[in-house]
Amino acid sequence: MTPHQTHQVPVTVRVFTQRFSSTPRGARLARRLAVHQLDRWGHAYGTPLSDTAAQIVAELAANAVTHGRVPGRDFELSLSYTPDVLLVVDISDTRTERRPGPVSPLPLSDTGRGLLLVDALATRWDVLDRLPVGKTVRAELDL
């Protein structure tokens, strides 16, 4: 190694992806499998990261089932975990035209609080185009 080279530690990114039926049962299963996968990656049930990720997955999956549902099409959960750096939660559906907008705490009604909660829990979130059709709502948690 020359004096100008630095030693870089390799980064391992772990990824979990699963498709679910666009039903309330599919949304519940997405949440359960997300916390199960985090447990396999070393973040036990009931830890702050597990609880936060579970809430984010629950809200985004419920939105995908409620607002992004296209009959006969599934939604997809993807978790991307870089230890001690970042957890990315992606929920994708096939409805392109129904995109969430900016969140506002007022006025609060009986519905529409899900993204407000995601906004409060995630470090950042965004809506991305999904090709060839649909969208992905991404929530990121800095670790």
Measured CA to CA in angstroms, residue 108 lies from 10, 52, 111, 119 at distances of 46, 22, 8, 15
Give me the CATH number covering residue 104. 3.30.565.10
Range of the domain at 53: 21-142
Q: Is residue 14 part of a domain?
A: no
Q: Is residue 101 part of a domain?
A: yes
* Res 133: pLDDT: 83
What value does the mean pLDDT take over residues 60-75? 85
Beta bridge partners of 85: none
Backbone phi and psi for residue 22, each to the nearest 5 degrees, phi listed first: -80, 65
pLDDT in tens, 27-50: 999 999 999 999 999 999 999 999
pTM of the full predicted structure?
0.84
As for how many domains the chain has, the answer is 1
Share of the chain above pLDDT 90, in %: 66
Give yes or no for residue 52 having a pLDDT over 80: yes
Q: Which of 30-34, 54-58, 95-99, 104-108 has the lowest mean pLDDT?
A: 104-108
